[in-house]
Amino acid sequence: MGDVYRALADETRRMILDDLAERDEQTLFELCVRLAERGVTPTRQAVSQHLAVLEEAGLVHSERRGKFKFHTIDTRPLAQIAERWPLPSGDS
C-alpha cells in the first residue's frame, strides 16, 4: 500500500487520476493535452514516468491497441485505504 501513498503524493499524478476519472481510456498524448489545459506542461517523458508510478501502485492500467496505448483508472487501491480507516458510524 506504500506505493499508493507515494503515487498520490504528487500533484501531477493526482491530476492524471482526476482526468482518467473524468474520462477513462486516454492516450499519453491526450493526458498531456489535458494537463496543458490546466497550465501544467510536463514533457511526454515526465508524464510517462508519472503513469509508470501510478501503474506500480495499481491505480492505472495500460493496454496497447494498435499503435496506441490506453490508460485506465483503477480505484480498488483507494478503496483499500477507506477500508483500513473507515469513517465512524454517522459520519459522512
Q: How many CB atoms lie within 10 A of CB 19?
A: 20
* pTM reported for the whole predicted model: 0.87
Report, as an integer, the average pLDDT of 9-19.
97
For residue 1, the model assigns a pLDDT of: 59
> Which neighbouring-strand residues pair with 61?
72
Bridge partners (DSSP) of residue 65 are 68
Residue 87 confidence (pLDDT): 78
| Closest C-alpha to 28, from 61, 63, 71 | 71
Tallying the residues shown for the chain, one arrives at 92
Name the CATH topology of 2-84: Arc Repressor Mutant, subunit A (1.10.10)
Above 80 in pLDDT, residue 2? no
pLDDT in tens, 33-92: 999 999 998 899 999 999 999 999 999 999 999 999 999 999 999 888 888 887 787 665
Q: What is the pLDDT of residue 91?
A: 60
Nearest one of 34, 30, 23, 31 to 54, comparing CA atoms: 31
